[in-house]
Amino acid sequence: MIVGIDYGSKLAGTTVVCYLLNEVLITKQSKKGQDADQFVWEVCNELNISLIGVDAPLSLPGIYFGKLNKENYFYRQCDIELRAMSPMFIGGLTARAIQLRDRLITKTIEVIEVYPKAFVENLEYKELYQKKNLDTLSKFFKHLKKEFELKVEEFPTNWHQVDGMIAWLIVRNYELKTHREIGDNEEGLIIY
């Protein structure tokens, strides 16, 4: 089983875990005030997972771990190339995501960093991906659902759920070896 995670603030209720069960895409979202890290841990422990994609930085810029050719204290190569937010700017989220990865990773579970925004850039209807506008969510998701032939348990009610589904799509593409990736193997890759 593969899982996509839209990873949010610890207590905001914005973390979503997405997986396929009986050919139907399931999304589970943390509740406001609930510990998101514990929520992810509990959901993942219920499933027989082989691959997890997390929408959050899973590494730091190479300078912090002695990479001689790395001089940037704020961005990894993948962040620069995708114009993504610095893992240092969202330091608490980054630290939590790395800790979660280290807790989840085993000999049978692989954890990768995914980036739904980069995935969406390759879609014809990318202009509908307006995360501050709930009015475009329905239109965007209808296109996504049709293009990728998704069967869903429930229609998403917020962009976190959509990003969880996109994270799952990226993981599926990674498993099928039809994904894209950017960055430096030693410093960190973003899969999209």
- Ranges of each domain in the chain: 2-191
**Does pTM top 0.85 for this prediction?**
yes
Q: According to the model, what pLDDT value does residue 108 have?
A: 82
Give residues with Cβ within 8 angstroms of 64, minimum separation 6: 73
Q: Please report the DSSP string for 39-107 in residue order.
A: HHHHHHHHS--SEEEEES--S--GGGGT-TT---SS--HHHHHHTPPPTTTTHHHHHHHHHHHHHH--S
127-177 per-position pLDDT tens digit:
999 999 999 999 999 999 999 999 999 999 999 999 999 999 999 999 999
Query: How far out from the chain centre does Cα 21 lie?
Result: 19
- The CATH classification number of 2-191 equals 3.30.420
pLDDT digits (tens, 9 = 90+) for 152-165: 999 999 999 999 99
Q: Which segments of the chain have a pLDDT < 70?
A: 68
Look at residue 23 in the predicted model and tell me its pLDDT. Answer: 96
